[in-house]
Amino acid sequence: MPMVSKVNLARKFGLFRESWKPKIVGELNGSYVKVAKLKGEFVWHHHKKEDELFLVTKGRLTIRLRGRPDIHLRRGEFVIIPKGVEHKPVAEEEVQLVLMEPKTTVNTGNVRNVRTTQAEWI
């Protein structure tokens, strides 16, 4: 039988410090659940085929969008960025968040640069 075990988000956030390095904490239906810490500005990018969910659990996150108002998220708020929509996360202070996205998703989407990273399980 497949393993079934609970995940405590606070405990997972306690296992790492670095920003912009999402960690995998669960998988379902071909997608990963990830946790990440963000601080500073990320790169403008989009995901060609994947919708992406950002759920903030600590701090405040701004998601900039081309040609429309910024999205401001606090703890307990989420947004889904549909595939193809260019976006740029910005965190003035450290943000902790949960991500949901297909396993195929690259963090920097259509861009490859120093921020491009492959998520690992924690």
Interaction site with a copy of itself (CB under 8 A): 1-2, 4-10, 26-31, 33, 50-53, 57, 65, 67-68, 71-73, 76-82, 84-85, 100-102
Are the beta carbons of 20 and 119 closer than 8 angstroms? Answer: no
Least Å from the CB of residue 59 to a copy of itself:
15
Q: How many CA atoms lie within 13 A of 52 on its CB side?
A: 29
Residue 45 phi, psi dihedral angles, 5° rounding: -160, 170
Least Å from the CB of residue 108 to a copy of itself:
19
27 or 120: CB nearest a copy of itself: 27
Least Å from the CB of residue 113 to a copy of itself:
24
Cα angle, residue 82 at apex, residues 53 and 93 outer, rounded to 5° = 45
